[in-house]
Structure 1
Amino acid sequence: AKAQPDGYTLLIATQSAMVFNAVLRKKLPYDPLKDFTPISMLFDTPTYLVVTKSLPMRTVSDLIAAAKANPGKYTYASLGAGSSHHLLAEMFKRKAGIDILHVPYKGSSNASTDLIAGQVDMMFEGGASSLPHVRAGKLTALASTGEKRTEIMPDLPTVNETLPGFHANVWFGLSGPAGMPEAVVTKLNREVVRILKQRETHDKFFELGVELLPTTPQEMADRIRTEIPEWRAVVEAAGIQAE
């Protein structure tokens, strides 16, 4: 944020840094909307609602019905309070009208190990971490969290198909410091978009379930501006206190 705005210092702008920090921290040393120049989104990826193999659920409707019949019985793993995993599950709870218990972990590998072992029941997890276990028959995938079905798993429904309005992808973008010259932003955007549209780039990220997302700088800015109040509402509804 404090670098020279000459186009030579850039930031991989994550959703966590630009949106989640804005709603989970009382004070930030930067302003996500004022201190950076958006260049382009890079990619977004849904997370996957996966359950331990011993549970009989095969659809989101199965899970919701079981949770409603047994309030407080089922547990979900996250990577800690305020993580995207936590916020997604809280949004799911609110949309579905269910009571499931939060079990925070310090890392994805520990959470996945316990999920496979049946120590916890479910998790919203990224494709790179969850899909290998799904393919190996160690976990059951019920749905993805994108607005539409994924290219890598087109037969897997979205949560949105059962709970209309529920969709949330994790995203990454490219930003520079505030005050970058328009000509520099235009050139960087043009090159980033060109690279993202190459077939080789698509094929490299396909197996991870990553959906490439070339955009204009304005589209990236609009997404950040829109998501901050949306996620703030989720945090407030879940009773999560800003630190």
Structure 2
Amino acid sequence: ILAGVDLVHVPYKGSGPSLAATIGGEVQVLFSTILSGLRQVEAGKLRGLAVTSAKRLQALPNIPTVAETVPGFESGPWYGVMVAAKTPRAIVEKLNQGIVAILRRPDVKETFTREGAEVHGSTPEELRSFVKAQIERWAKVVRQAKIRVD
């Protein structure tokens, strides 16, 4: 929507077949997760055109962001640790403190960075706000693009 680009989505059963199709010339462009595409870019089998994160990735510092061409564009995978809604607050806080402590360890951060991931340990409230904002953002995209399930 932001770039006014019209692409045809070709469904594949996983990243392996979609990477093979792109490397083999069956399709011309691929939106890949960093974990799937990074090694292929490093091996010279794929050329990275842009990353969809807000800022350049430490693992691929020479590849620009889409936002450098299309201001405001940002998209990418994220992971949050979640528990049942009725979990006692004390348990939620203890889990959060432990997870954040692990994510702040230099060896853990370096492993994630090497794999192309950016680590952001936060609070349960920050995650809740983030998820709410993501739902609102993508609901708007779905409405604007008139996306529907066939």
Query: Normalization by structure 1: what TM-score?
Result: 0.59
Which structure shows the higher strand fraction? 1
State whether structure 2 residue 10 is matched by structure 1 residue 103.
Answer: yes
Partner of 1:241: 148
How far off its partner does 1:165 sit? 0.6
Alignment of 1:53-68 (within 5 A): none
Task: State the percentage of identical aligned residues.
Answer: 39
Dislocated runs of 4+, deviation >6 Å:
none
How far off its partner does 1:100 sit? 2.2
* Residue of structure 2 aligned with 1:192, choices 99, 122, 145: 99
Alignment of 1:25-174 (within 5 A): 94-174=1-81
Gaps of 5+ in 1: 1-93
How far off its partner does 1:181 sit? 2.0
Larger radius of gyration between Structure 1 and Structure 2 = 1
Task: Give 3-state SS (helix, strand or coil) of 1:203's partner.
Answer: helix
Gaps of 5+ in 2: none
Cα distance between partner residues in 1 of 2:17 and 2:105: 36
Residue type of the alignment partner of 2:142:
V
Query: Normalization by structure 2: what TM-score?
Result: 0.92
What per-residue deviation string (whole Å, max 9, x for no partner) do you get for residues 68-110 of structure 1?
xxxxxxxxxxxxxxxxxxxxxxxxxx11112222211122111
What per-residue deviation string (whole Å, max 9, x for no partner) do you get for residues 12-59 of structure 1?
xxxxxxxxxxxxxxxxxxxxxxxxxxxxxxxxxxxxxxxxxxxxxxxx
Partner of 2:86: 179
Cα distance between partner residues in 2 of 1:98 and 1:201: 38
Residue type of the alignment partner of 2:111:
K
How far off its partner does 1:242 sit? 4.1
What per-residue deviation string (whole Å, max 9, x for no partner) do you get for residues 194-226 of structure 1?
000001111222221011110011000001111
Cα distance between partner residues in 2 of 1:193 and 1:101: 40
Task: Give 3-state SS (helix, strand or coil) of 2:35's partner.
Answer: helix
